[in-house]
Chain A
Amino acid sequence: MTKPIIDDRTLEACQRGDPEAFRLLFEAHKDRVYSIALCFFDGDEATAKDITQEVFLKLMTFISQFQNRSELSTWLHRIVTNACLDRKRALRRFLSLGEPHERTLPDRRMSLEDKYAQRETEASVRKVIASMKPKLRIAILLKYFDDLSYDEMAAALGCSKGTVASRLNRAHRILARKLSHLRAVAAGE
């Protein structure tokens, strides 16, 4: 996965209140933020949209206080993590698990058959991820949507690298055990 490039000039322009620069920043990060929230909330598009808006409003409020892109990136991931975990806690009383929301997966250049298999596999993976404990869920989403290093994840999650490794270990093994029937499909990825 290629990470978007936001240079220091764009960041400085954002800090001056330049709306075009902020739009660039938004474009660079919005799909990843939205994807993490969408998967975290089991395909709930309304909640994912709310979370994405919340994250960018906070980003806009505090943008003037960042010294560099690295600080901004760490903070952005931390805000996404907190927004998801906070919303999860708040909704716990009202939401029942096991009712996944319908969503449309993006088209890709594959045969119809391949596309169908890919969609089925991805839907199964999303379902298993949605059933994991929130801390495991957010760890695996940060890793596979944002391709963060363990150091970056530790900063975003507010834990040690060892804890990151441990959470990913558990998440990987849950996926493998619950989706062992997809072994052949995964081998062909």
Chain B
Amino acid sequence: MVRKHVIRQLSAHYHQELSADENLKIETHLRTCSQCRTAYEEIRLGARLASVLQISSAPETIWTDVPAKPKISRHWRRVGFAALATAAILVAVAVREDFYSGPSWEVTGLRGMSRLHIGETLETDTGSQAQIKIANIGRLVVRPDSRIRLLATQSNQHRIALDRGKIEAQTWSPPRLFVVDTPSASAIDLGCQYILEVQEDGSSLLRVTLGLVALERDGPETIVPAGAFCRTRKGAGPGTPYFEDASAELQAAVTKIDSVNDPGERLRQLQIVIRESHVRDALSLWHLLPRMDTQARGMIYDRLAQLLPPPPEVTRDGILALNPKMLDTWKKVVSQLWQ
């Protein structure tokens, strides 16, 4: 008898992170599979050992270095000089920024350029690359043979254009503060780390290594989570994202769907996507839903419902009609893949 082992789910089972049905399946399996039972004993032992970790008290001296900003603010409020201080700071900043031709980012590694100002272009040749501090929210590596322009840098948004070449971005800011415009879409940082490459024809390839990135161009957002790729094409916007561990056939079929208009061909490629899809490929299926016609959408619904069943209030007809409320409800289930 062929039995599917459950080793990968055993920590989740131990931590009660699975549904009642899944727990029951695992318990049933454990009764008959000595291999999984041994693994479960290891996981229980590992978890019990990890549970002995005790919280350590942070040294009090940490606080003395941290809260300078609130203390200063309170002091000035108390003595009634807040307005005066703010005005003085604003004047000082204005004078300083005017002196340095406006806010800029620090650049290292590139001969002849130490700051990048708004409106300026930074270009690397085949033998150079640059490291840039994205204000105080992250860093950027501009790979060889690339060109970027700084469009904006202020407290509520930092924005560049990537005209060609490759960048690696890493941020530690709240979502949506850092945006990269490419000729075919805008990449909005929802997380931490990604690589973005723009080709000569204006198309681009995004690979997210940590966190999330949203791609936008005149339509709904495409969400690309860690471990996933997404291509964009000039004039067509973001394509369909897929995880890097998806089968080669699925990746090729998704790319084909994004690049052809013939309905018959798109349907043939969709059949490959459906045949090749596993649970993580729900990412691709979900993004294909609104991009296909009703017949194809029905096929996507059926497969997606097998992989990640929708809540009871979500109906097949509702999804085929792209009912926004039902899409939102189901998305809460599907988006667990990237949250």
Contact = CB atoms under 8 A, between A and B. Distances in A.
Interface of A: 1, 17-19, 22-23, 26, 30-35, 38-39, 45, 49, 52-53, 56-58, 60-62, 65-66, 71, 75, 78-79, 82-83, 103, 105-106, 108, 118, 121-122, 125-126, 129, 140-141, 143-145, 149-151, 154-155, 157-163, 165-166, 168-169, 171-177, 179-180, 182-183, 186-187, 189
B59 to A, nearest CB: 6
A-B complex: 5 closest residue pairs judged by Cβ atoms: A172-B46, A19-B70, A34-B58, A158-B211, A175-B46
A175 B11 contact: no
A145 B62 contact: no
B53 A53 contact: no
Determine which residue in B10, B39, B70, B212 has the highest number of CB atoms from chain A within 10 A of its CB, and name it: B70
Contacts of A157: 210
A158 B191 contact: yes
18 contacts: A26-B66, A45-B59, A49-B58, A103-B56, A106-B56, A108-B54, A125-B52, A126-B53, A129-B50, A143-B50, A158-B210, A159-B210, A159-B226, A160-B226, A173-B43, A179-B45, A183-B45, A189-B48
Contacts of A165: 8-9, 11-12, 17
A140 B14 CA distance: 14
Given A158-B212, A165-B8, A165-B9, A35 B65 contact: no
Interface in B188-247: 191-193, 210-212, 225-227
Nearest to B191: A158
Contacts of B193: 158
- Main SS class of interface, A: helix
B19 interface: no
Given A18-B70, A23-B67, A155-B339, A187 B48 contact: yes
A134 to B, nearest CB: 12
Interface residues of B, number: 59
A32 B174 contact: no
Contacts of B51: 144, 189
B58 to A, nearest CB: 4
Contact of A58 (B56, B58, B172, B177): B172
Interface in B1-40: 7-12, 14-15, 17, 39
A126 B166 CA distance: 40
Contact of A105 (B54, B177, B212): B54
Contacts of A168: 11-12, 15
A187 B45 CA distance: 8
Determine which residue in B46, B136, B225, B280 has the highest number of CB atoms from chain A within 10 A of its CB, and name it: B46
B63 A26 contact: yes
